[in-house]
């Protein structure tokens, strides 16, 4: 369970919305003030409640903590604070920033790669952008690349599928936003597999897959907007990862990827092994 997060001069405290926890937080803040000689400015402090907290509980907690400002900034650390159901409106400012940064007439390729395609990268590490938004960003990039004349867009002489190919393959090297989004989410899934002891993987495991392996977990019920995105990244990652064999005792012979050979039917290798339930690689 995460009880607090500290970013620069910001302190974020998390607790259950009840009287007991509110009094405990109040006592902790008083102890801090007496020990440090500093005073917390409650007028600049704010509190944010989950949607299920009743109005009576909200008023009681705000009174106990002497914090009347019930608000949540639209963005924190450059990211949206409350995405909700992840609609196109939640990322409307991405469209606005794309339009603001695609107005220069010189160095189009450098500008597109360094600015237009870099703007949404930070967000795509955590969220799966809606398909319509990805198409809209691609449209902005294509329109800027080909330009316009007398207010009308010029003819696109090369298909977008060719332009997103690497230069050594005859393309321009632009990124398709949707595919790039999936690759960044796959990277998040890779981080969960490789660094399970870091804070983010531990929190996700406690919330979504406490008793199973990450690769075996599905979407579940009532997930946040971040978890479905990571699951999609995991599905992309699962297409290419292969288990490194040690003793082979935890690697299922049939269901896990452990061979580099593509398209091979393991059930034809040995008729004896097919009679065994859940055989492992080390099975003799």
As averages over each run of 10 residues, the pLDDT of the chain (284 residues) reads 83 91 92 92 88 90 89 67 62 61 54 70 84 83 70 70 76 81 91 89 88 79 82 86 75 70 49 62 62
Residue keyed to tokens 């008083």: 30
165 with 126, same domain: the answer is yes
Q: Is residue 248 one of the residues assigned to a domain?
A: no
Nearest Cα residue to 141 out of 193, 177, 166, 165 = 177
274 with 232, same domain: the answer is no
54 with 113, same domain: the answer is no
118 with 159, same domain: the answer is yes
Q: Is residue 244 one of the residues assigned to a domain?
A: no
227 with 266, same domain: the answer is no
Q: Is residue 213 one of the residues assigned to a domain?
A: yes
Q: Which residues are CB-neighbours of 253 under 8 A, at least 6 positions away?
A: 266, 273, 279, 280, 281, 283
170 with 185, same domain: the answer is no
Residues 75/81/83/88 CA torsion (nearest 10 deg) = 0
The last residue of a domain, from among 57, 72, 87: 72
192 with 115, same domain: the answer is no
26 with 84, same domain: the answer is no
pLDDT of the residue at 106: 44
Question: Whole domain around residue 268: which residue ranges?
Answer: 253-284
pLDDT of the residue at 278: 67
274 with 201, same domain: the answer is no
Q: What is the C-alpha separation between 175 and 21, in angstroms, rounded?
A: 48
The three-point CA angle 189-6-72 to 5° equals 85
Residue keyed to tokens 């699951």: 231
pLDDT of the residue at 166: 77
Q: What is the C-alpha separation between 47 and 45, in angstroms, rounded?
A: 7
Q: Report the domain count for the chain.
A: 4
Q: What is the C-alpha separation between 110 and 104, in angstroms, rounded?
A: 11
Q: Is residue 52 one of the residues assigned to a domain?
A: yes
């Amino acid at each position: 369970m995460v009880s607090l997060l500290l970013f620069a001069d910001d302190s974020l405290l998390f607790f259950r919305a009840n009287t007991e926890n509110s009094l405990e937080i109040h006592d902790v803040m008083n102890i801090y003030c007496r020990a440090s000689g500093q005073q917390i400015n409650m007028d600049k402090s704010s509190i944010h409640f989950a949607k299920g907290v009743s109005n009576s509980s909200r008023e009681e907690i705000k009174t106990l903590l002497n914090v009347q400002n019930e608000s949540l900034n639209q963005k924190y650390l450059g990211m949206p604070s409350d995405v909700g159901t992840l609609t196109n409106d939640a990322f409307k400012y991405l469209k606005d920033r794309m339009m603001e940064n695609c107005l220069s007439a010189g160095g189009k390729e450098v500008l597109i790669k360094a600015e237009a395609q870099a703007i949404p990268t930070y967000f795509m590490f955590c969220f799966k952008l809606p398909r319509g938004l990805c198409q809209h960003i691609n449209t902005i990039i294509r329109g800027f690349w080909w330009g316009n004349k007398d207010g009308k867009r010029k003819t696109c002489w090369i298909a977008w599928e060719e332009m997103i190919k690497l230069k050594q393959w005859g393309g321009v090297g632009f990124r398709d936003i949707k595919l790039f989004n999936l690759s960044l989410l796959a990277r998040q899934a890779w981080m969960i597999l490789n660094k399970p002891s870091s804070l983010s993987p531990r929190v996700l495991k406690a919330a979504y897959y406490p008793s199973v392996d990450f690769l075996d977990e599905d979407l579940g019920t009532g997930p946040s907007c971040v978890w479905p995105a990571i699951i999609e990244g995991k599905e992309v990652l699962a297409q290419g990862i292969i288990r490194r064999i040690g003793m082979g005792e935890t690697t299922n012979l049939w269901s896990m990827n452990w061979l580099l050979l593509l398209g091979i039917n393991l059930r034809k290798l040995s008729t004896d092994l097919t009679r065994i339930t859940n055989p492992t690689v080390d099975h003799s």
